[in-house]
């Protein structure tokens, strides 16, 4: 039984690692696309794309389930309705988090944006305290190490950490990403991940529409035109299909088997993957600070998955419930 639980956690941890890999590699696409496209229209289109891509998959899956278990049709329909309702709430949270991040990235460096956004790794366990979620001392140490690693990776010892207005947006973004992680963790395990994921993207897309005029046009003077959108079609499609359609769905599936604090630590490896993918794909050399950051962050994630009871000789205790 304990071995099965351990294997389940490992599987879900690997799913979350794949999520971080996709987010890390798609960060380049997002930065590229937003060179010309406004932050709200970019987020709106990629979210709609991510949600719509999942609809045919959901339809096919539902048809297969109906044929296999016709006696459970009514029960399955109720699960779908519940997943849609929960997906709308998740979409509202995601809309605030993702749009705050996109707007902030107009006036800040990618490294600083990555570091401040990933501060959700400490906000998740802090907010979890109020939700009566246990966090071990080992995990708190891992969170601290991860923040140190992120600083070296994204900012460096010579970086500028002076507070500017865009940083306030990024702190708000980190806070709402923390809410999103904790909300996903609070959902019933019977929730359909695909339906929930598709609903949250479409909800985010609709919420973004009225702000396109207020922010993209009035504030940043970026008028959405067909020519501009067509020029950024590849980054938008990659962000919509990979970052939204696949990665956020994997997040929902992966979080079903691990503690939210551990989930946030694993997903924060997005910054590490971004640096490594830059080295492999773009031939960008890692600085000494970036290398230190990668090593420290990997150490933090590995440390977070160690069961403290395993150090007790002959211990037969159950695995740590928070890891």
Task: Please check whether residue 73 lies inside any domain of the structure.
Answer: yes
Instruction: Give the residue numbers spanning the domain of 270.
Output: 2-311
Contact 83, 191 (CB under 8 A): yes
pLDDT at 313 over 60: no
Task: Please check whether residue 317 lies inside any domain of the structure.
Answer: no
- What is the rounded average pLDDT for all residues in the chain? 84
Task: Please check whether residue 171 lies inside any domain of the structure.
Answer: yes
pLDDT at 110 over 80: no
How many domains would you assign to the chain?
A: 1
The number of angstroms, rounded, from the C-alpha of 290 to the middle of its chain's C-alpha atoms is 21
> pTM score, two decimals?
0.83
At 271-294, the pLDDT tens digits run 788 777 767 766 667 788 888 888
At 133-162, the pLDDT tens digits run 877 888 888 888 888 888 887 778 777 666
If one compares 104 and 202, the residue with the highest pLDDT of the two is: 202
Task: Please check whether residue 272 lies inside any domain of the structure.
Answer: yes
Q: Is 234 helix (H, G, I), strand (E, B) or coil?
A: helix
Task: Please check whether residue 318 lies inside any domain of the structure.
Answer: no
Task: Please check whether residue 110 lies inside any domain of the structure.
Answer: yes
Any alpha helices (H) in the chain, and if so which ranges? 2-33, 39-68, 73-104, 110-117, 120-130, 137-150, 165-186, 193-211, 226-231, 233-238, 249-254, 260-267, 270-281, 288-304
Look-up of token digits 């309702």: 85
pLDDT at 311 over 60: no
* Mean pLDDT along residues 192-213: 95
The three-point CA angle 287-236-23 to 5° equals 45
Contact 177, 120 (CB under 8 A): yes
Task: Please check whether residue 319 lies inside any domain of the structure.
Answer: no
Q: Enumerate helices (H) and strands (E) in the chain, giving the number of each.
A: 14, 0
Task: Please check whether residue 321 lies inside any domain of the structure.
Answer: no
């Amino acid at each position: 039984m304990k071995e099965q639980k351990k294997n389940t956690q490992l599987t879900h941890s690997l799913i979350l690692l794949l999520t971080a890999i996709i987010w890390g590699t798609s960060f380049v696409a997002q930065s590229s696309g937003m060179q010309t496209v406004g932050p709200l229209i970019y987020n709106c289109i990629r979210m709609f794309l991510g949600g719509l891509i999942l609809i045919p998959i959901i339809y096919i899956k539902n048809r297969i389930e109906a044929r296999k278990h016709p006696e459970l049709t009514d029960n399955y329909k109720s699960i779908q309705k519940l997943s849609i309702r929960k997906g709308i709430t998740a979409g509202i949270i995601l809309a605030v988090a993702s749009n705050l991040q996109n707007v902030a990235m107009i006036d800040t460096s990618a490294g600083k944006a990555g570091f401040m956004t990933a501060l959700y790794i400490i906000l998740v366990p802090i907010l979890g305290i109020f939700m009566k979620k246990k966090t071990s001392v080992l995990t708190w140490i891992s969170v601290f190490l991860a923040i140190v690693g992120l600083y070296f990776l994204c900012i460096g010892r010579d970086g500028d950490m002076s507070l500017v207005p865009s940083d306030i947006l990024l702190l708000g973004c980190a806070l709402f990403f923390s809410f999103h992680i904790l909300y996903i963790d609070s959902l019933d395990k019977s929730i359909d991940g695909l339906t929930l994921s598709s609903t949250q993207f479409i909800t985010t897309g609709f919420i973004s529409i009225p702000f396109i005029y207020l922010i993209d046009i009035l504030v940043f003077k970026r008028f959405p035109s067909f020519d501009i959108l067509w020029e950024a079609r590849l980054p938008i499609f990659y962000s919509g299909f990979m970052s939204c359609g696949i990665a956020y769905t994997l997040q929902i599936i992966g979080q079903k088997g691990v503690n939210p604090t551990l989930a946030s630590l694993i997903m924060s490896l997005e910054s590490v993957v971004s640096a490594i993918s830059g080295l492999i794909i773009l031939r960008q050399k890692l600085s000494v600070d970036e290398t230190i950051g990668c090593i420290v962050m990997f150490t933090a994630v590995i440390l977070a998955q160690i069961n403290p009871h395993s150090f007790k000789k002959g211990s037969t205790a159950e695995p740590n419930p928070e890891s």
